[in-house]
Each structure stands twice: as C-alpha cells, then as structure tokens.
Amino acid sequence: MVGAHRLGTRIVRLYIPLAVCMVLMLFPFYWMLITSIKPNRELYSQKVMPLIVHQPTLKHYYDLLSETNFITWTYNTLLVAVVGLIGLWVFIDGLAGLLHISIGCMNSYLKYAKLIELRRAEGR
C-alpha cells in the first residue's frame, strides 16, 4: 500500500506538471506546423476551428522555395552564424591564452619576490 501511495503522489507532483509543461512548450511548434499546411481560406476564416486542418496543402512551402530567395537567405544566415562562432571561439581562446600568460607572469614575479625576500632574510 505504501508503494501505491508513493506512485500516486509522484504522478500528481511530478508527471502531471511535467506533462502540462511539455504541452505548453510543444504547442507553438504544433501551431506553426498546422498553420504552414493550411490553405489561405482556412487561415483567415473565423468559422473554422484553428487547431484542426481540414484541407492540408503544401502550397506555402512551394511558394517559399520557388518565389523567394529562401535558400540564399538560409545560406547567408548559416554563413554569419559559422563566422561569428569561429570569431567568438578565436576571441575566447585568445583571452584564455592571455590569462595563462598573465598568470605565468604573476607567478614568476611572486617567485622572484619570494626569492629576494629569502635572500634578505639570510643576509641578516
């Protein structure tokens, strides 16, 4: 009986909130998908239920690929993203190198200062 009580509590406290969050997070993707395959008359009609597609079509995808420069836009976006990522990587790598050099210089300075301090202590 104790195991059943724990399972019920786990379902109520963990799985139901997770399911609600999952539905809320996935709903925009569902909306984009059904909106992209709806014909225009269904998109603008107030009499049709917006969550159901009655006559799916791929016309919007065809128009996107044939009447616009979508492939060029996608290529430019990927190019900017890759060049920006490589630039950021080089910049961060350079900062890491500078940090390593500065730590090495500071370490050398501290060792030199400690050495001078030890020599002064021996001379007294």
Q: Which two tokens stand for residue 74?
A: 């996608």
* Better-predicted residue by pLDDT, 107 or 22: 22
Position 64 scores a pLDDT of 93
Q: Is residue 47 part of a domain?
A: no
Distance CA 109, CA 115 (A): 10
pLDDT band at 35 (very low <50, low <70, confident <90, very high): very high
Residue 11 in 3-state DSSP?
helix
Distance CA 105, CA 98 (A): 10
Location of structure tokens 């225009």: 40
Position 12 scores a pLDDT of 84
Q: Is residue 100 part of a domain?
A: yes
Position 66 scores a pLDDT of 94
Q: Is residue 61 part of a domain?
A: no
pLDDT tens figures, 72-111: 999 999 999 999 999 999 988 888 877 778 777 777 777 7
| 54 and 39 Cβ atoms separated by less than 8 Å | no
Entry field: residues in the chain: 124
pTM of the predicted model as reported, rounded to 2 decimal places: 0.58
- How many domains are contained in the chain? 1
Residue 87 domain boundaries? 69-124
